[in-house]
């Protein structure tokens, strides 16, 4: 992997902080290097996972409110559990992207 391709791959991973979906998609379609495309796709998938967990969190909050309508504290516990789940998933994704980005920079 050339230095430029390693830098593009690292930027795809670090884009979790500033342009989570745009940069990996752009890198995937602009570059010709297959390994860089692989890293762009991996970073794109890792950026999509928090969006999926937000959808799950929203569905859980709505269903928790509807199911536990008479017992208010259960709905609150259900929603807090969802927020904790989202926070853990987001933290894992950010740490994984930073580690992968650093790996790409050290390969350059």
Find the domain containing 67 and state its range.
3-107
Looking at residues 90-96, what average pLDDT do you find? 93
More confident residue, 2 or 102: 102
Q: Give the model confidence (pLDDT) of 15-74 as tens digits.
A: 999 888 899 999 999 999 999 999 999 999 999 988 888 887 777 777 766 666 665 677
pTM assigned to the model: 0.81
Q: What is the dihedral of CA 11, 12, 16, 18, to 10 degrees?
A: 60
Is the pLDDT at 77 greater than 90? The verdict is no
Could you tell me if residue 19 is left (phi over 0), alpha (psi between -120 and 50 degrees) or otherwise beta?
beta
**Which pLDDT does position 105 carry in this prediction?**
92
């Amino acid at each position: 992997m050339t230095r430029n391709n390693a830098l593009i791959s690292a930027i795809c991973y670090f884009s979790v902080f500033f342009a989570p979906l745009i940069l990996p998609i752009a890198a995937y379609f602009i570059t010709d290097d297959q390994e860089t495309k692989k890293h762009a796709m991996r970073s794109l998938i890792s950026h999509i996972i928090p969006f999926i967990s937000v959808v799950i969190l929203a569905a859980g909050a709505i269903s928790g409110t509807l199911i536990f309508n008479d017992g208010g504290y259960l709905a609150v516990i259900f929603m807090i559990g969802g927020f904790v789940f989202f926070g853990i998933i987001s933290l894992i994704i950010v740490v994984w992207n930073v580690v992968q980005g650093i790996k790409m920079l050290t390969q350059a």
